[in-house]
A = this chain, B = another copy of it.
Amino acid sequence: MSTPTLLVLDAEPLPRLGRLTGRARIEHTDAAGLAERLPRADVLLVWDFTSRAVRDAWPGEGPRPRWVHTASAGVDHLMCPELAASDTVVTNARGIFDQPIAEYVAALVLAMAKDLPRTLELQRERTWRHRESQKVAGGRAVVVGSGPIGRAIARTLGALDITTALVGRTPRTGVHGPEDLDRLLARADWVIAAAPLTEQTHGMFDARRFGVMQPSARFVNIGRGQLVVEDALAQALAKQWIAGAALDVFEAEPLTADSPLWQVPGLIVSPHMSGDIVGWRDELGAQFVELYELWEAGKPLVNVVDKQRGYVPGH
């Protein structure tokens, strides 16, 4: 077998692939050059995981890479019917983001319980104003999304003595099915969206679901922006259907300066950073190199996405 061609859909900083020297012919492309280069590539590394260029470039003439890896947990930005119907294997960065995102969710939950945003406002105003805050221990959370990220969130919230229910597409031991969701939402103190973006989850957090929640409930989305109907969330906060929310992901990213979401009272806005700890890009690069070595040796890949479902099926 000749040296495989590895095409990288670039983002800065570039992945460290030095270990593959001589073992892959590495080509780099931006979104504009992707369609032209795809037919020559054996492997596509979607390093720019914010780009939707693969969805646009994939349909077309000529051969296609046999394997596509995305340096992200979600695959919604690259899946298209032609890729889903093909024999191409798609893998993702499952595992890299679990613990960092779980900690990030815990940070948001505790910050909201302890009224930290208001504390920081009062500090800016040089105002000493004692307030009572909430205990999180003994509370209840629902985590929607039962993959490794959702499970890591449930473990971390559980470690804070928050009783946490997981909801997934398929009920199984320790995981509720979608039919239990509304009942669980109605008694949750914390609702965490950590599901992959699929047809089933698109827009699932809408006015009706925010209406089901308790007035004391708080909502966190670290999954994908499109899980949430943003206007409905803004309305739910304005009408005090729920007590607070935090969004790390948005329908359109980056959020533009004129978005009304920046100023919704009770909403914490962060720039899609929940999983991105210092060193994360190196971990993503190292994970790809490990997968490449499996692929090169003809061994089965791990983190293989079910292209119909849009995620790596779990336990």
Contacts and interface: CB of A to CB of B under 8 A. Distances in A.
Interface of A: 99-100, 103-104, 106-108, 110-111, 113-114, 116-117, 119-120, 122-124, 126-137, 156, 159-160, 253-259, 262-263, 268-273, 276-280
A278 B271 CA distance: 31
A123 B272 CA distance: 13
Given A159-B160, A268-B120, A255 B128 contact: yes
Most interface-central of A116, A117, A156, A280 (chain B CB within 10 A): A116
Given A126-B263, A133-B276, 17 more contacts: A104-B114, A107-B110, A110-B110, A119-B273, A120-B268, A122-B271, A123-B262, A124-B262, A126-B262, A127-B257, A130-B272, A130-B276, A132-B273, A133-B273, A133-B277, A134-B278, A135-B278
A136 B103 contact: yes
27 contacts: A103-B113, A103-B137, A104-B114, A107-B107, A107-B110, A107-B113, A107-B114, A108-B116, A110-B111, A111-B111, A117-B120, A120-B120, A122-B271, A123-B262, A123-B270, A126-B257, A126-B258, A126-B262, A128-B255, A128-B256, A128-B271, A130-B271, A130-B273, A131-B273, A132-B277, A133-B277, A134-B277
